[in-house]
Every structure is written in C-alpha cells, then in structure tokens.
Amino acid sequence: MAIEHIFTEITENKAEKKNLISEIIKKIRTTPTEEDILNIAVEALHQALECDRVIVYNLQPESRGKIVAELVNSDFPKTIDSVIVDPCFEHRYINKYQQGRVIAVANIYEAGMTPCYIENLEKIAVKANLVTPILIPDESLYGLLVVHQCSQPRQWTPSEIELATQIASEIGWALENVRRKQQYQKLTQQWQRNYQWQQSLQAVMKKMNSGCNCAEVLQIAVEQVKEILQCDRVIIYGLQKPNQGTIVAESTFAALAPILGQTILDPCFEYRYLDQYRQGRVIAVANIYEAGMTPCYMENLEKIAVKANLVVPINCEDEAIYGLLVAHQCFNFREWQTEEIEWLKQVGIQTGFALSKAKLKEQVESFNSVFTNLQNTKQEIAVAKTQIREIRLKVQDTSDILGEINNLYKMLDREVTLINQANLIQDDKKSQLIKIIFKKIRQNSQKIGENIHLFAGQTYQTEELLQNLKTNLDHNILNHHKTK
C-alpha cells in the first residue's frame, strides 16, 4: 500500500518528530489486514530513516523465521519470503527480545558477531542494522522489525532507534487488533453456521416426529439428509441380524441405480464394529481408496459407485442399535466438514428417538385396534347368546307342539277304533270330534313348519356369527403377539 511522503528526513525538532510519528501510527492503526499493516510499517520506516532495507522477520515453529514484509532499494538483493533456520536464536535471544531488547549495530565487523552470522549478513549486503522486537500485547514475540544499511556502516541516532521501537510497538498493537477482529468475525461466522445447522436439525426433527410410522420416519430422514448435505445418496442400513442388514430407506440422485431392499451379509460386522457403533462410532471417509479398507469392502462400495461416505449409528432409546445412517458421495471425492459430521451424528440420534416414538405409536394404535375388536367381539358374543337362546326357545316350542300332535294322534286313533268297534260311522258327534282333532293337528303342523324355517335361518346366522367371532379372536391374538 503506498504511503504519502509525510517527511523527508528525521529532525531533532520535537514538534515535527511528534507529528511524524503520529502520522505513521495513524496509518498503521487504520489498516484492516496483517499484510497491509506490515507493508505500511516497512515503507514508512524506510522513508523516514532513508535506509537501504526494512524487513519484518516473523518467528515460526521449529526454529524457523520468515521474511514476511520488505522494502529494499533496487541496488540490493530482495529477501522477501526467505525462510531462515536458526536453532540458536530461540535458545540465545528469544527471551531477551520478549523483554524488549533493541540492537543497534553501526558496523557488523566491529560488533563482535560470529563469523557465520557475519557471513549471512554479507549475503544480503548488510553493513549496519537496527533490530527491534514486535511484541503482541499478551507479551508473545511476533518477530523482529529490522532496518538494514547496505551501502556503508551507519551510526544510529537515539531518535532513529526511538522511531523504530515505536513503530514496532504499534505493529504489535495493530496486529493484536486485527487478530481480535478476525477472531470475532470467525466466531460470529461459526455461531451463524452452528445456528443454521441447529435450525436445520430442528426442522428435520419436526418432520420425523410427524411421521405416522417407522417407514415414514426413515424416509423423511434420508430425504432431509440428502437435501441438507447435498450429497448423491443417503441410505439407512437396517440391521435385521447382527451380521446381516437390509437397505430399508433410500434417497438417491436420479442417475444412480437404486439399492433399496438389497440385503448385505457381512459376517465380520458383528465382531468388528457392532459394539463400536452402539457406543456412537462415526466414520467419515473422504476417499475410499485412501482409507485403508479391505479389498472386499472397497469392491462392495464400488458396485454402488461410492467414492466417499459418512456413517453414523441409529440407536434406539432402549440402547439397541437399529442400523446405520449413511451419506454417499458418488461422482467425486469429498472432504466431510466438522459441522456436517456433527450434524449427521445428531440426526442419527434423533432418528433413533423418532423411531422409538413411532414404534410406541404403532403399538398404541395396535392395542387400540385390539381393544376395539374385543369390544365388537363382546357385542357379537351377546348377539350369539341371544340367538342361541331364541333357538332354544324355538326348539322347546317345537318339542311341545310335537308332544301335543302326538297326543292328538293318540286321541284320533282311539276315536277311530271306537267308531270301528261300535260301527258308528254315521255318528255326528264322533265325526265332529275327529274334524276338530284334524284341525288341531293341521295347525300344529303349520307351527312346526314355521319354526323349522325360522330355526334354519337363525342357525345359519348363528353359525356365520360364531365363525366371524372365531376369526376376530384369532386376529386379536395375532396382533397381541406382534405388539409384544
């Protein structure tokens, strides 16, 4: 970033020096990025001191240092981005610089430096240097602000040393402010991402809890996960047996062949992974060819075009593992993000809760159905008992009629015998009596016919009612066993 020429030379006039430093500080403090802060600082100091080179030397791990900012006259070599390894620096000098040490060397050949250090300075044409520490307010040492004179030795004045020291201090404060702002922005962005993930989780939970049965819960889960993660396929692998599973739900990209309903037999699954998944094991594979998978497992994934996958368990409230919720990336590899992994893990947990709730709901509905059927059966039993009682009455009535007919036939037989014995064929009284007997017999015969008709109808209805009753009882018994 270019800086206006605020000055042309350092002066002993206190007012001018104060204004000069104020302008430099203002520029540094109002700069929004670390890179720009360092560039403004080296440019300002280079112009103020009219030196040959100004650099910022940033301390990095493993005894390394890197030149991260530089302004150098065209006559001398550039050192920007150079990495310097100096194992002795940390041991000898880092504590001193953390305490504010400032070094002003007028002539490198008269400063008692080691030959190797002089040799390193000669490589970049240094004849004199001024070194001040850049301290972050938490007292950590960011690096060094270094001024080089390359054309000739130079005696550094107190005002020059003071200016370099003040600029180094302002760099430390400015860097701290930038980092705090960056941390705040990062935390804010992280909070916003977490809030968005949490909102999407709440939405998925709400939809899953609205599922009427287990099948709906599973289908809602895979569809929502595919939509949120924007992956190619999402499946739920239901563990029917410890070493055998079936794809019980799937949401997939249209270009991929469906695998819903496929059964997978894996004798090693129970032994290797079942307990781990019960304890919440999560697997995120960015590239199946770099995950150390067994050849057979990799071959199975290749058959369904998987290049990356993310696997979380579905554990129900009774701590029994239902299966696995699996996201597939099929058209390219994918580095799963921490937020995605944690979100899918939570979806797996909530799917387990929703399944437990759906199972309970199904059991309640089944019990209600059984109860309703039992109430209907109770009514049917009452109707059957009534019909049987009516049949018994009809049978008793018919029996009484048959008894009366039998008596009438006996009476008729006796009268006919008397008529034959006495030769009283023309006896009007006897003839009238016989007519009455036949009339009674005919009436009773009609009643028997009516009872037989009613008896047959009621018997059929009763038989059908009892058969339905038996069927309903068997159905209720079966449902009862299913809900256990």
CATH number at residue 444: 1.20.58
Residue 349, domain member (yes or no) = no
Q: Does 467 lie in the same domain as 421?
A: yes
The domain of 95 spans 14-183
Q: Of 133, 163, 183, at which residue does a domain stop? A: 183
Q: Does 63 lie in the same domain as 23?
A: yes
Q: Does 379 lie in the same domain as 330?
A: no
Residue 283, domain member (yes or no) = yes
Q: Which residues of 105-142 are buried (b: 16+ CB within 10 A; e: fewer)?
A: beebeeeeeeeeeeeebeebbbbbbbbbbbbeeeeebb
Residue 455 dihedral angles phi and psi, to the nearest 5°: -60, -40
- The confidence score (pLDDT) of residue 165 equals 93
Reference 31, options 187, 189, 181, 184; nearest CA is 181
Q: Does 42 lie in the same domain as 134?
A: yes
Q: Does 384 lie in the same domain as 470?
A: yes
Q: Does 166 lie in the same domain as 288?
A: no
Residue 2, domain member (yes or no) = no
Q: What residues form DSSP beta bridges with 71?
A: 54
- The confidence score (pLDDT) of residue 270 equals 52
- The confidence score (pLDDT) of residue 88 equals 59
- The confidence score (pLDDT) of residue 467 equals 59
Listing DSSP states for 138-169 in one string gives TS-EEEEEEEEE-SS-----HHHHHHHHHHHH
Q: Does 32 lie in the same domain as 155?
A: yes
Residue 193, domain member (yes or no) = no
- The confidence score (pLDDT) of residue 432 equals 75
- The confidence score (pLDDT) of residue 216 equals 92
Q: Does 176 lie in the same domain as 257?
A: no
- The confidence score (pLDDT) of residue 28 equals 85
**Class of residue 6 by CB neighbours under 10 A (exposed 0-12, middle 13-18, buried 19+):** middle
Residue 377, domain member (yes or no) = yes
Question: 221: which 2 tokens?
Answer: 């889960």
Reference 37, options 146, 166, 131, 171; nearest CA is 171
> Domain total for the chain?
3
pTM of the predicted model as reported, rounded to 2 decimal places? 0.59
Residue 471, domain member (yes or no) = yes
- The confidence score (pLDDT) of residue 11 equals 46
Q: Does 323 lie in the same domain as 249?
A: yes
Q: How far, in Å, CA of 154 to CA of 470, rounded?
A: 114
Q: Of 336, 352, 387, at which residue does a domain stop? A: 336
- The confidence score (pLDDT) of residue 384 equals 72
Question: 70: which 2 tokens?
Answer: 């530089």
Q: How far, in Å, CA of 51 to CA of 49, rounded?
A: 5
Residue 4, domain member (yes or no) = no
| CATH number of the domain where residue 293 is located | 3.30.450.40
Taking the chain (484 residues) in runs of 10, the rounded mean pLDDT of each run is 42 59 80 90 92 94 86 94 74 81 94 86 94 88 94 94 92 91 88 88 90 90 94 91 82 92 71 79 93 85 93 84 93 94 94 88 76 75 76 74 73 72 60 74 70 62 56 57 53
Q: Does 268 lie in the same domain as 387?
A: no
Q: Does 383 lie in the same domain as 306?
A: no
Residue 459 dihedral angles phi and psi, to the nearest 5°: -65, -40
Residue 5, domain member (yes or no) = no
Q: Does 94 lie in the same domain as 219?
A: no
- The confidence score (pLDDT) of residue 76 equals 94
Residue 84 dihedral angles phi and psi, to the nearest 5°: -115, 125
Q: Which residues contact 146 (CB under 8 A, 6 or more apart)?
A: 54, 55, 56, 57, 129, 130, 131, 132
